[in-house]
Structure 1
Amino acid sequence: MASSGTAAPLVPPPPRAVLPRPYLLWLAGTRVSLTGDAALSFALGWAAAAHGGQVAALVLTAITLPRTVLLLAGGALADRFGARRVMITGDVAMLAAVLALAVAAHAWGTPSWLLLGFAAMVGTVDAFYLPATGSMPRRLVGEKQLPRAMALLGAGGQMASLLGAPLGAVLVATAGLSGTALVDAAGFAAVLTVMVWVRPAAPAERTPRAESLLAGIRDGVRLAATDPVLRPALLLTATAAAGVLPVVALLGPLMARAHDWGPRAAGLIAAGQGVGVLLTSLLAARLGPLRRIGRGATLGLLLAVVGLAGLAVAPSSPTAVAAAVVVGAGSGMFACHVGPLILAGTPATHLSRIQSVLTLVQSMALVVANNVLGRLATTTGVRSAIVLCAVLTCGAAVIGSTSAPLRALRRAGS
């Protein structure tokens, strides 16, 4: 059917498109656990900061390095043995590790070796857990329900992030690292209980066990690099990650310091972006995405560009917070279209491997962008770094608008 050339309106999903109960239980369990993880992450960072900046950086590296190195292996393993089995194993491992941290912190305090060892454990488990959990929505819901399911997943993740840091601050002040670890352990126990109960509606297709793990990794990377839909979608995601993700962790605090707005403003800028993502995720969960998936992703990126431009010229902290909300709304709109697109376009035999590639390209883009933007902010000012983010995000929008496979895609059932 010919397009009229105008943006398709948001259309409510049909009444029968109710998300299945197993998915809702899985969603609730994982979001509870994610809130505990965010609280413990704050507590871990706070404890590491007491040892100085070098130790704090090493703790972050101890999480990031094994996760990055092992991600592709984690995706291949989940496709071979089953994502649910990998998730249960990861939950058991993390439950044991968090309980051990609680006992050790109560007995010995927070020595640097304990923080580094636990951080390395987190990064290693994440490498196997993230590709598996990223594939679960496709395994638990139908294709027509997938965009709403993933929008609700994104909204739950933002709620966990927004609640986790304040919860961590309260727990650190009242119960220390040990008490915070016990709260996180309760979250892992909850999601483990859910994972034992929840099973995919149909048996998952798996790669043959005769295939070596290395061959499985190569096959996943080959598919990501050659598929006419996955390749531009992953490139689009990597470029958008470099342009949008550094705003919260890097540029917001740098901007607040450069203008003497104080730490409260930096926190509000981060919260503003989170609120923007939450609002668009809830809207997409309620109404569904645009019929033209590529157009929805491109419009989201352009909205983020508007927010980044506003942030670059913001004369005061309230204006910066408002601009951050727009950035978050745009990035949330982008994620609500591209996330389901990648998951729905992946063969059932490669779900976890493509999720591992997705996480890897985002992480690598963010590592490069953080270093380039940090140096640029130091040499020419933070505003120029934010302008570069706007340029990168605009470049991602161009990729989305000029990619014929992405432009041709429509929402399932439309």
Structure 2
Amino acid sequence: MPTTDTGIPPAPVTLAASARPAHRDPNVLRWLGAYTASMVGDSVYYIALSWAAVQAGTPTQAGVVMAVSAVPRALLMLGGGVVADRFGPRRVVIGSDAVRCAAVLAVAGLVFVTDPGLWPLALLAVVFGTVDAVFMPAVGALPARITDSDQLARVQGMRGLAIRFAGVVGAPLGGLGVALGGAATAFGLAGLLIAVSVPLLISVRVRELPPDDADDVSAADDVDDARKGARPGTGWQDLRDGLRYIRHDRVLAPLMLAIALGDLGFVGPLNVGLTLLADERGWGAAGMGWVLAGFGTGAGAASLLLAVRGRVPHAGRVAAVAILAGSVAIGALAYVPSVLAAAGVAVLVGLLAGLSGALCGALVQTRSDPAYLGRVSSVSGIVSLGLAPLGMPLSAAAIGLWGTGPVFVVSAAVCGLAGVCVLSFRDLRRAELPKVKKKQEQQQPKSKSK
């Protein structure tokens, strides 16, 4: 079996702790605080990096510095999933945040005492991308080690709220740091925020989940295969075992395809496409800001719904319907007559995309065997962060040739194929999230022991 997080000995998770819903569990809340601090630190870091790069070079050179971290992240993320499964996600997340904190603070000191030019900034970006390649799969694998399977959907909603909070708070904090003391102050603030996550993560209690923890959503033969594939081998063997595990799973394999299609159709219109649409309609930066705010509001509402409710029945079918309805809304976004109407449609897009994304993430969490969750998370991440961004330059070029309307419609059709994919595979269509256990049911083993 993969090694546990023995580098920093965890306390055992008691029955009383796991009997609480995730949003009231101090152990989960410590993890959430660490994750939020790290994400806000990331947002501040990107503001600081972009400002320092623009000050040190040309806009083209600054763009290269900002983009260079994507290369090691895309190339190494599959290996990062192997690392997370082999050494334990908690240890990997703690180590990753420690390295990122040290790297950012080192550059903050360098920028403070001298004008280092672009090379240290590019090196920092490469370090961040390399560490992200192991950090992201470990982050995806950690929730299953800190709470019960019936709480993972709720944790997915809480994670979505943390991401939205970081997006709203991080940019103004980064701008404030730059205004007060330049890039050095902003880098220092980013490093301190990331540093906050380390002691919180050390205090998080983890456990090694038994393979049958996912029995509610996994077939017995899949669990048996996972046990066989979990024997330690070389890194390449572990990677092949993980890919084989996904390929042979009747839910995960089509789910990865659906995630790829959904992100590929979604990223172009809601990033570069929205900027070009605002410019074409004369909405300006303020109008684009209102549309983005509408999207963020809808996505945050979806995360809040899942965090509070804890479970959505018929998860596979609901995800498919949300994807299909969201794709229609994406296509309609290019034809609305005003900024106000566009913001309203963006709320709907955010709500539906947020709901479908959270449900797909929760299905990944609950369907995957714990021995493979890091590798499954890495494949999901490489699909979203490696393949989906390719749609941005393609969307920009296509809009230049044919305009926003046709490109938004085609992108919406690609996104809609994700919903068709979910409906086309019976096991994925019928996939359910584990039922949230009542407190009495969770305490039943304890009463029997008496």
Q: Same fold (TM over 0.5)?
A: yes
**Greater mean alpha carbon deviation, residues 256-265 or residues 230-239:** 256-265
Alignment of 1:10-25 (within 5 A): 17-19=21-23, 20-25=25-30
Which residue in the other structure is 1:5 paired with?
A: none
Offset of residue 32 of structure 1: 1.7
Are residue 215 (structure 1) and residue 215 (structure 2) matched? Answer: no
Q: Equivalent residue of 1:145, what SS? A: helix
- Greater Rg by CA: 2
Deviations 1:146-187 (A, max 9, x none): 111111111111111122112222221222111111111121
Matched letter for residue 62 of structure 1: V
Are residue 42 (structure 1) and residue 42 (structure 2) matched? Answer: no
Q: CA RMSD in A?
A: 2.0
- Determine the C-alpha separation between the residues in 2 that align with 1:208 and 1:330: 36
- Determine the C-alpha separation between the residues in 2 that align with 1:44 and 1:247: 26
1:254 to 264, 276, 281: 276
Q: Equivalent residue of 1:144, what SS? A: helix
1:233 to 255, 262, 285: 255
Are residue 165 (structure 1) and residue 171 (structure 2) matched? Answer: yes
1:375 to 397, 406, 417: 397
Q: Equivalent residue of 1:412, what SS? A: coil
Which residue in the other structure is 2:362 paired with?
A: 340
- Determine the C-alpha separation between the residues in 2 that align with 1:408 and 1:89: 38
Change (3 A) 1:209 1:201: closer
Contact 1:303/1:329 (CA < 8 Å) preserved in 2? Answer: no
Offset of residue 110 of structure 1: 6.0
Contact 1:306/1:326 (CA < 8 Å) preserved in 2? Answer: no
Contact 2:78/2:378 (CA < 8 Å) preserved in 1? Answer: yes
Alignment of 1:261-410 (within 5 A): 261-410=283-432
Which residue in the other structure is 1:200 paired with?
A: 206
* Seq. identity, %: 30
Q: Equivalent residue of 2:239, what SS? A: helix
- Determine the C-alpha separation between the residues in 1 that align with 2:207 and 2:238: 25
Offset of residue 270 of structure 1: 2.3
Contact 1:303/1:326 (CA < 8 Å) preserved in 2? Answer: no
Contact 2:268/2:389 (CA < 8 Å) preserved in 1? Answer: no
TM-score (norm 1): 0.91
Matched letter for residue 282 of structure 2: D
Offset of residue 349 of structure 1: 0.9
Contact 1:289/1:337 (CA < 8 Å) preserved in 2? Answer: no
Change (3 A) 1:376 1:103: same
**Greater mean alpha carbon deviation, residues 343-352 or residues 47-56:** 47-56
Contact 2:40/2:166 (CA < 8 Å) preserved in 1? Answer: yes
Matched letter for residue 135 of structure 2: Y
Matched letter for residue 262 of structure 2: A
Which residue in the other structure is 2:5 paired with?
A: none
Contact 1:307/1:325 (CA < 8 Å) preserved in 2? Answer: no
Contact 2:298/2:347 (CA < 8 Å) preserved in 1? Answer: yes
Q: Equivalent residue of 1:358, what SS? A: helix
- Determine the C-alpha separation between the residues in 1 that align with 2:147 and 2:183: 37
- Determine the C-alpha separation between the residues in 1 that align with 2:22 and 2:94: 26
Offset of residue 271 of structure 1: 2.5
Deviations 1:176-215 (A, max 9, x none): 1111111111212211001111121347889868511111
- Determine the C-alpha separation between the residues in 2 that align with 1:107 and 1:217: 44
**Greater mean alpha carbon deviation, residues 277-286 or residues 107-116:** 107-116
- Determine the C-alpha separation between the residues in 1 that align with 2:368 and 2:301: 27
- Determine the C-alpha separation between the residues in 1 that align with 2:389 and 2:178: 29
Unaligned runs of 5+ in 2: 1-18, 212-226, 437-450
- Determine the C-alpha separation between the residues in 1 that align with 2:194 and 2:292: 26
Deviations 1:339-363 (A, max 9, x none): 1101111111111011001001112
Q: How many pairs align? A: 400
- Determine the C-alpha separation between the residues in 1 that align with 2:110 and 2:210: 39
1:66 to 61, 72, 78: 72
Change (3 A) 1:103 1:233: same
**Greater mean alpha carbon deviation, residues 180-189 or residues 257-266:** 257-266
Change (3 A) 1:82 1:288: closer
TM-score (norm 2): 0.84
Matched letter for residue 291 of structure 1: P
Alignment of 1:107-186 (within 5 A): 107-109=113-115, 111-186=117-192
Contact 2:265/2:411 (CA < 8 Å) preserved in 1? Answer: yes
Offset of residue 307 of structure 1: 2.2
Are residue 242 (structure 1) and residue 237 (structure 2) matched? Answer: no
